[in-house]
Structure formats: structure tokens, C-alpha cells
Amino acid sequence: MAYEHIQFEINDGLAILTLDRAPLNVLNIAMMKEMNQALDSIGEQPVKVLLIKATGKAFSAGVDVGEHLGDQVNEMIEVFHGIFRRMEALGVPTVAQVQGAALGGGCEVVAYCDLVVASEKATLGQPEIQVGVFPPIAAMVFPRQLGYKKAMELILTGDIIGAAEAKEIGLVNQVVPPEDLEEATQKLLKKLMKLSGLVMRLTKKAAVGGLLDDKAKSLEFIEKVYLKEMMTTRDAEEGLKAFLEKRKPEWTES
């Protein structure tokens, strides 16, 4: 199938989904629908590992801010979260290769992957709070991965961190010079592809189940807060519009 905003291929059990809306790979609804179509197309094919990477200077600068406004936000959330629901259902190990900025929704895609190889030039963060919203997926996975204190620091401040700090706190597995990123990723994939796909899927299932946590219910709860409580506020609308209009927001609610 031909895609406009992504590339997708399956080679000998390795599925490769490439974000291809350079230079910043901003995730709009059309692009995210293609990501979902690609993941759906895997079907019963014998895939062992899913690699998510990107063209251009950034992994992804996040979800299109303009598509957070009005009735579009409901479709945006449904399509965006569909990516993670499909990744969860697929059940195979997932690897992210991060060459540059992974911000907002881009950072959430990275955080949701099981393993992350990043360039020394990569930056990661969830700046959503600065435009009057919060990152739903990060709200779900950051406390599990980073611990509550660090998760809240990143989500509440919107700070953007470098690859070295991301590795230190457990958001990234490996950091390498930019020129070594592809080689390091391939080395990791080679290790994984030598293993039993079934055993890796069961191992991941056991590890996730061992958390004694229900991500489906968690995400459903977070979506309700996001859409029914936050997105109906004046501050959320003001923050998003201020970003699009390139001005400072004027908060009116406390």
C-alpha cells in the first residue's frame, strides 16, 4: 500500500514504520491514520519486532496543535491513541530509533516503545502544559517508567531534556554519536531477530502483566479527563490558540 506521510515495510519478520513528513514529522490526523493502517496491515504476518524511526532532522515534534481545537480534538485523540492500542495488541517487542527532537506526541511514541536507541543530539520532552493541555500517554506511562516524582517534573514543567539525561532516568536505553545511530540500532535488532518471536511475545506479555495494571482502563480514564474536563476549559483553548498565533497565553482560570 502506498502512503503519503509514512513508509512501511516488513522484511524477514522485521516491521519498519518510518515517519516521513520531514523536517519535523508533525503528527496530523492523516499521518496518524496511515500509521494505524500500517499496523493493521501486519495482521497475521510473522512479525518478530517493530521498529519505529523517522526521516528528517526530528523524530517528531508532536501532534499538530491546530487539530486539538473544536470538534477535531475528539477525532485526533481517537486516532492518536489508536496507535498505542494497536502497538499493545500487536504484542511484539518495539524499538524506537531517535535521531533528533522527540517532543509531545513524538516523545509519547518513543516512551511507549520497549527499547530506545538515541543519538547524542536527541532531545525529549512533553511541553504540552505550556499550551494549556497535558500529554495523555505520558501521563499513563511516565510514572510507570520513570517513577512518580520525575514523571511529574517532566509533565508539569514541560522541560525538554537531552539524550544523556533521558538515558539516566530510564527513558532511553542507549545513546550513541549521530554517525553511529543506524549501526547501533541494527546491532540491537540483530540480537532480537535471532530469538524466538513467540518467546519474546510471551516474555513481553508476562512483563506487562506482572505490573498488575490495566492500561486499557487507565487510558480510558485519562481520555475522559482530557476530553470532558480539560478540553472544555477556556485555558485549554487559550493556550492552544496562543501557540498557533505565536503569542503568550493569558490564563483566566485557577
Considering the candidates 75, 128, 182, 220, report the single residue annotated as catalytic.
128
Considering the candidates 4, 34, 75, 108, report the single residue annotated as catalytic.
108
Q: How far apart are CA 204 and CA 185, in angstroms?
A: 20
Could you tell me which of 102, 100, 116 has the C-alpha nearest to residue 172? 116
3-state DSSP helix/strand/coil percent for the chain, to nearest 5? Answer: 55, 15, 30
C-alpha pair distances (Å), 192 with each of 89, 146, 228: 19, 24, 41
* Residue 128 annotated to the active site: yes
Q: How far apart are CA 107 and CA 116, in angstroms?
A: 11
Residue for cell digits 520497549?
114
How open is the CA angle 210-213-216, to the nearest 5 degrees? 130
What is the set of active-site residues? 108, 128
